[in-house]
Structure 1
């Protein structure tokens, strides 16, 4: 059951509202490891609940960190191979984050508002490697506060040739 994962009440309320009955296998196996701060590689089919397997522990992680001050980078970084996937991840993040005052931005929004939000401070950044490197090189954000890193579809990013960009980003975490 979801209650056994000890997620905050706002997460359990959203889970209930969405009609989820029990965790999927990737969630049941991934949550305990992620909540303990362990490294995790999760492999599961599309529609298996992978996104929530890392997003809910990410929200818990953010909640126990000191609040961001202006100019600090995010606490959670999610890298995705495409903007379309980044948008899907943001949709899941917003279902839960809106109830907790945890702010997130994604690589699908217009650059102007993104820059403003990054400079003001957001707890979660969901981005493609290229857009994130652009924001880092322009000094719109930094990765010094990142303590929770997700490479969603890492195999696909590597197949697409993103290894140099991923290395560059991780070197700043």
Structure 2
């Protein structure tokens, strides 16, 4: 495996945990050494790799290359395309995107955020149908936010709050019909 690929994966794992380099290194290695590892200018020892995996709460095999450790161009194009849809706030396209590729963790994270954003949109309505859609999307956001290396507790928390609020509103709506 190339040094920069290993370093990139370590950096991605650190950023996914929203940790600074200083928080990761502790007293085990220097921040400068971690910076060199992440940039690919230094190769970590096995002990350092074990330490980093422990601190970042990841399995060592997530840092190892696949047998064919190269980016599949169509997969990369699909990810770039769906990322543009997210940036352009076309959340429905992100949610409907169906691909099982090497970018599945990234796409899962985008889908979780897209579901949350769509749930917020439907939450603004007084329609029972829209509230139910908001609930379904919030559930989906909560589930997706727990998956992969980019699992995001803040998205899960926001989705769960939205789910509870809309479930209460929907319950109150049906109660008012009695």
TM-score, normalization by structure 2? 0.31
Please tell me whether Structure 1 or Structure 2 has the larger radius of gyration of its CA atoms: 2
Higher percent of residues as helix: 2
TM-score, normalization by structure 1? 0.32
